[in-house]
Amino acid sequence: MDIDSPPAAFPDPPASHHTHLNLPSFSASFPLPFRVLFLVGLAQLLWASNLHILYLLGLDTSWILDFRDTVAVEDVPLHALSAEDVGDEPPQRESPISRPESKTLHRSLYKLFAIYTAWVGSGWLIFRSVTGADQQAMENFRWFVGLVAIGAILGAFAPWDGIGIRDRAALKRAVRRIFLPSLAAPIFFSDVILADIFTSFAKVLGDLWISSCQILQGGITRGRVAQTGFSRYFTLVMVCLPYILRFRQCVLESYQSGWTSTRPLFNALKYFSAFPVIILSAAQKSVAVDVAASKGLTVQQLAEMDERWFGEHRLFRLWLLAVVVNSMYSFWWDVQMDWGLALCDVDTWIPKKDSRTSGRPDLSLLGRIRRLFSRGGPSISEHQRSPYPTPSPSFTQLPQPGLPTSPVTLSSSSSSSKLAFFAFGLRPTLLLPDPLVYHLFALIDLVLRFTWSLKLSSHLHTISEIESGVFMMEALELIRRWMWVFIRMEWEAVKMTEARRAKDSNGAVLWEQKDGP
C-alpha cells in the first residue's frame, strides 16, 4: 500500500557510495514544498483526464458520480454559473435532479489546472532565479514558497466567481461531507472516490506538514527529513488521516444500512490494516540501534556495512508481516470488489467440481475455500450505494442508458476464440474498449502495491532513500490511483445500469435523492 517503509535510522552514507546520486542538487533545484505542489497539480491533471477519457468512451460520468446542480445554490449564486458550467439548461432550485453535462466536467478542470500550473510554475521559476540554488538564499526566501502555497489554497477554496466555480464549490461540499459527515446523509459515490484519492496522498500529506515546518522554522534545503519532538507525531497523524476518514466512511455506510451490509465492514478492515504498517514503520527507528548493539557495532559502522536486512529483529518481522497482509488484501479488494473482476476468484484458477452429479455439496478443503471466496457465497460481494443497497452483480447483458452503445461483451459462447482467451478472469460486460486493459491495469496495480520490496533489497535501497526516489514513488502512486479510477467508475456504471431496473413503488430510482454533490 502507499505507506512509508521504515524510515532510515542511519546517518548520511559515506561520500564514496553512489556518487552519481546527488541528494543536495535535487533538493536545491526542487525543494520539498514545490514537490508537494507539483503532486497536487499532477492529481488535478490525472482526474481531469479520467473524466475526459471516460466521456470519450461514452460513459455518463455526471450520472455515475451523481453530480447535481440543485445543491449548488447554497454555495454558488445562479447568476455566476456560466452556460459551460451548467450545460444546455440552467439549474433550477426546485427541479428534482439537475445534472451538469458530462462533456463540461473536464473542460473547467483543465482550465483550473492551467491556472494552477501557471501560478506554481511561475513561483518556482522566480524562486530559482532569485536564489540561484544557493542554500542561504533559499533559506532567506522561503517566505516566498509559503506565499505560493497560500495562493494555491486560496484559489481552490476562496469564494470567487470565475472559471470552475461549480467544481470548486462541489469540492468544498465534498470535503466538508468527508471530514464532518452526517449520520443520516447519504454517502455519495463521488465522496468515496475523493476519499480514496486522499489515501494516495498519505505520504504527500506527511510531506506537507514537513514542508510547513521548513517554511516556518527553516531547513528548506534539507529535503525530506524526519521531524523530532511533537512534530514527529503530527507527521504520523497526517499520514494516518486519509485512512481514518475512509475507515469512518465505511463504518458509516454499514450503519446506514442497519448493519445488514457486511461489505463496508470488510472494506473498513482494509483501511484499518494500514495502521499497523504506519505505526510499526514509525517504530523502526529503534531497530538499527538494537541490531548494532547486538553486534557490538555503532550505527555508523552498521551503515558502512550496507546492512539493510534486519530479519532477526522481531519489530522488523512484524512490520514486514503487516506490509504483506495490507498489500495483498488491498490488491485483492481492488481487483475483486472495486473492479468486479474474477482474476482472484478460486473458480477462475481451480475448475469447479460439479456437485449435482453426487447430490451433495463439495465438502473438501478446496470446496470450502471456493464457497468462501466465490462471488455467489459471501455477503461481502454485495455492493451498497448508501443508504440504499443495490443488487449483487449477476454478470448478465445489461441495457445501455448512460453507457456506451457497443460494450465489449465477453462470454463462454463468444464466437471469437481470441476474445474468449483474453476474457480470462474478467466479467461478461466490459465498457472499456480492449480486454487487455483490465489485465494490464491489474498487473501494474499489483507491482505498485508491492513497491515496498525495492526497499528490502540492499543493492536497490538508494532508490527509495534519495529524495528523487521518494518523489518518484509518490508520483507512481498517483498514477496507480489514476488507473484504478478508470475501472472503478466503469464497474460502477455497469452495476448502476443493472440496479436502475429496481425502482420503488412510485417508480423513482432508488438512489435519486434531493441532495448530492
Summarize pLDDT for 42-88 with one digit per residue, the tens.
999 999 999 999 999 999 999 999 887 644 444 443 344 444 444 44
Mean pLDDT of 452-460: 46
Q: Is the pLDDT of residue 351 over 70?
A: no
Share of the chain above pLDDT 70, in %: 66
Q: pLDDT tens for residues 270-326?
A: 999 999 988 888 777 777 777 777 777 776 666 666 665 666 677 888 888 888 899
Instruction: Encode pLDDT of 386-403 as tens digits.
Output: 333 333 333 333 334 344
pLDDT given for residue 369 in this prediction: 54
How far is Cα 481 from Cα 426, in angstroms, rounded to an integer? 20
Average of pLDDT values for 495-515?
A: 55
Length of the chain: 517
Q: At residue 11, does pLDDT exceed 80? A: no
Q: Is the pLDDT of residue 468 over 60?
A: yes
- Residue matched to cell numbers 553486534: 295
Percent helix, percent strand, percent coil in the chain, to nearest 5: 60, 0, 40
Q: Mean of the pLDDT values across residues 21-46? A: 82
pLDDT in the model for residue 6:
42
For residue 438, what pLDDT is reported?
Answer: 92
pLDDT at 283: 79
- State the Rg of the chain over Cα: 25
Preceding peptide of 13 cis, ω within 30°? no
Helices and strands per DSSP (H, E), number in the chain: 22, 4
Residue 140 has pLDDT above 80, yes or no: yes
pLDDT, greater one: 421 or 391: 421
DSSP string, 291-314: HHHHTT--HHHHHHTT----TTSH
Q: What pLDDT shows up at residue 381?
A: 35
Task: Point out the least confidently predicted range of 221-235, 242-256, 318-332.
Answer: 221-235
